[in-house]
Amino acid sequence: MLGVAGILRPMSEQSNRAVLLLWSPDRPGIVAEVSHFIFTYGGSIVDSNQHYDPVSETFLMRIEWDITAFALPEERIASAFEPIAIKFNMTFRLELSSRTTRMAIMVSKYDHCLYDLLLRNREGETHADICLVLSNHETLSNVAELFDVPFEHVSITKETREVAEEKQRSLLRDYRVDLVVLARYMQILSPTFVADYPNRVINIHHSFLPAFVGARPYHQAYERGVKIIGATSHYVTDDLDQGPIIEQDVTRVSHRDTIRTMVQKGRDLERLVLSRAVKLHLEHRVMAIGNRTVVFE
């Protein structure tokens, strides 16, 4: 029999897990059928969440199980599940803890989010394989080096934008990247780039979206005289700062705050919000549905 303590630690700490994410028109019997499937092959359900989205009339489910004693080899689980998916007209995604997400971090010159992501991953808070730091400046190559992560520099000018992006995409392919994290990367990605990684590019925007879209949000916040500032992490889509929101947080400011101190307070927010969003994504807890997300914490 499996040690109980072992069975129930979350995926982030465990290497023998499968997670099934599924989107389906609502039909009675889904939970019963899915849990029966797992039980039949000897899986032990560790976590299970569901949600019905009334806007899109979609049923969403996340189910995580221990596959130590699973009667199917990992590579055959998805195909074994397929008949159920067809029966209920589901879209599904199977994630396995044995396959660590390969993550690239794109940066420009700010280092605070980069440091934060690297430190947390090293300390075991997140479990990504950070395989690349990609930048349009040389500035942060030493940080990448400090953490033994390959650093690639692709400079971008107005004229070279298209070619440069082609090169970036090629690098991301070469490094077999699953997830792109924009850690205060100061360039806008083209629709072509975005299409390569649907709901797999995470950005941090330094405002409480949808307030203060676009450039210099702290300046906008200062001028509007708000009493609270925020940060927002979201998947990148073709519409600037309009993608599905994963996580947000806020902090108080007052008339005593200058733009300079707002930027400082904001840095703490950016770090926390981006790292939480990345962690939730890495644990396969975020399901996009239209322009919103369901986050099974």
Catalytic residues: 241
Q: Give yes or no for residue 188 binding a second copy (CB under 8 A).
A: no
Q: Could you give the CA distance from residue 8 to residue 30 in angstroms, rounded to a whole number?
A: 23
Nearer to a second copy by Cβ, of 182 and 288: the residue is: 288
How many chain residues touch a second copy (CB under 8 A)?
A: 71
Q: Could you give the CA distance from residue 87 to residue 37 in angstroms, rounded to a whole number?
A: 13
Q: Could you give the CA distance from residue 101 to residue 295 in angstroms, rounded to a whole number?
A: 18
**Contact positions with a second copy (CB under 8 A) in 105-164:** 112, 115, 119, 123, 125
| Contacts for 295 with CB less than 8 Å, ≥ 6 apart | 246, 247, 280, 285, 286, 287
Nearer to a second copy by Cβ, of 201 and 287: the residue is: 287
**Contact positions with a second copy (CB under 8 A) in 237-256:** 244-250, 254-256
**Of positions 99, 173, 219, 260, contacts a second copy by CB under 8 A:** 260
Alpha carbon of 240 to those of 126, 163, 204: distances in Å? 27, 21, 12
CB 25 within 8 A of CB 58: yes
**Of positions 210, 214, 219, 239, contacts a second copy by CB under 8 A:** 210
CB 271 within 8 A of CB 224: no
Category of 112 on φ-ψ map: left (φ > 0), alpha (ψ -120 to 50) or beta? alpha
CB 77, min distance to a second copy, A: 16
Nearer to a second copy by Cβ, of 42 and 150: the residue is: 42
56-95 mask for a second copy (x: CB under 8 A)? -x--------------------------------------
CB 191, min distance to a second copy, A: 21
**Contact positions with a second copy (CB under 8 A) in 21-50:** 26, 28-33, 35-36, 38-39, 42-50
CB 31, min distance to a second copy, A: 5
Nearer to a second copy by Cβ, of 132 and 284: the residue is: 284
Nearer to a second copy by Cβ, of 166 and 268: the residue is: 268
| Contacts for 12 with CB less than 8 Å, ≥ 6 apart | 126, 127, 279, 282, 283
Picking from 264, 212, 214, 275, the residue whose alpha carbon sits closest to that of residue 239 is 214
